[in-house]
Amino acid sequence: MVVTKKQSPEAAKAAGKTPEFKKSGRARNYDLGNGVLRFSRAKMFHKKALYKFVGKKVAAAKKTVQPRVVEKKIGGDKNGGKRFVLVNQRRKAYPTIDNIRVAPSKKTFSQHKRSIRSTLTPGTVLILLAGAHKGKRVVLLKQLNSGLLMVTGPFQINGCPLRRISQRYVIGTQTKIDVSGVKIPENLDDEYFRRQNLKKLRKKGEGDIFKSKRPTYKVSDDKKQQQKDMDKQVFEAIRKHPDRKVLLAYLSAMWGLRSSQFPHRLQF
């Protein structure tokens, strides 16, 4: 067995041969962003020379059909001399009970693997794209066990409290704050952000038994104090930033697209 090695382009030119080039793995008509392709459909029609095949029909290749039975000769005067036998013999025995199929074990949501984008690290300034606070810039604190991100405004700057949001609805910017000194309490988890069931808290009024007061959600004093403690630590981290004045104005300003601005062309 002879193993041949590919020559380099310089060696191939010296020997008078055409050099071999490796094809790149990138497609010719790749996506520029936001679903916009590099070439249009009409342009690719000419690049692929599809006009040469318009109106041409290729006859379908006939597939060879294998016979199900074959003829076999049988000796003996009373046996008929021939017999038709199946090519693929049937099974001689069948089980009376079907085998039990073991279904693959389904992992619950709590056992799913959590992943996060490489650009979303603690201290990154994010832009919210959904929810009541969309358009605001917030500071990422950590990722919760459910995979959601815990962010804060801080509340004193732009009115965004401690919240959790999916990473699908945020844009990660290049602005980062050193939050290594911020201590996050252990009780700030998914259970902390769980909604209250207000139907269970509904009580009947004293005047009329048929009328019931509809309770409204109110933030507890403990959560207000915890918000102040977290904002105080984040403020100290912002003050240590070399451009703290610009950073405070950056966090307080709302984000939005103007005329002739496209998100896939912006650099955050």
Mapped to the 3 state alphabet, what secondary structure does 147-173 carry? CCEEEECCHHHHCCCCEEECHHHEEEE
Strand partners for 219: none
Q: Do the domain assignments include residue 152?
A: yes
The torsion angles phi and psi of 125, rounded to 5 degrees, stand at -80, 125
> 206 is written with which tokens?
């004293």
Q: Do the domain assignments include residue 242?
A: yes
Q: Do the domain assignments include residue 228?
A: yes
The pLDDT value given to residue 196: 79
Q: 202: pLDDT confidence band, cut at 50, 70 and 90?
A: low
The pLDDT value given to residue 94: 86
Whichever domain contains 237, its CATH number is 2.30.30
Sequence-distant (≥ 6) Cβ neighbours of residue 248 within 8 angstroms:
157, 238
User: Where in the sequence is the domain holding 182, given as residue range(s)?
Assistant: 124-196+217-256
Q: 1: pLDDT confidence band, cut at 50, 70 and 90?
A: very low
Model confidence pLDDT, tens digit, residues 100-117: 888 888 888 888 888 999
Q: Transcribe 69-111 into DSSP letters.
A: EEEEE--SSSS-SEEEEESSPPPS---SSPPPP-PPPPPPGGG
Instruction: Please state, in angstroms and rounded to a whole number, the distance separating the CA atoms of residues 256 and 260.
Output: 12
Residue 22, pLDDT > 70, answer: no
Instruction: Indicate the number of domains in the chain.
Output: 1
Of 23-27, 70-74, 165-169, 252-256, the one with minimum mean pLDDT is 23-27
End-to-end CA distance of the chain: 57
Q: Do the domain assignments include residue 185?
A: yes
Q: Do the domain assignments include residue 102?
A: no
Q: Give the residue from 114, 149, 109 showing the smallest Cα distance to 129.
A: 149
Q: What is the mean predicted confidence (pLDDT) over 29-42?
A: 90
pTM exceeds 0.75: no
Q: Do the domain assignments include residue 227?
A: yes
Residue 59, pLDDT > 70, answer: yes
Q: Do the domain assignments include residue 17?
A: no
Who wins on pLDDT, 65 or 9?
A: 65
Residue 3, pLDDT > 80, answer: no
The pLDDT value given to residue 123: 93
The pLDDT value given to residue 8: 62
Q: What is the mean predicted confidence (pLDDT) over 209-216?
A: 66
Model confidence pLDDT, tens digit, residues 146-180: 899 999 989 999 999 999 999 999 999 999 999 99
Strand partners for 71: 84
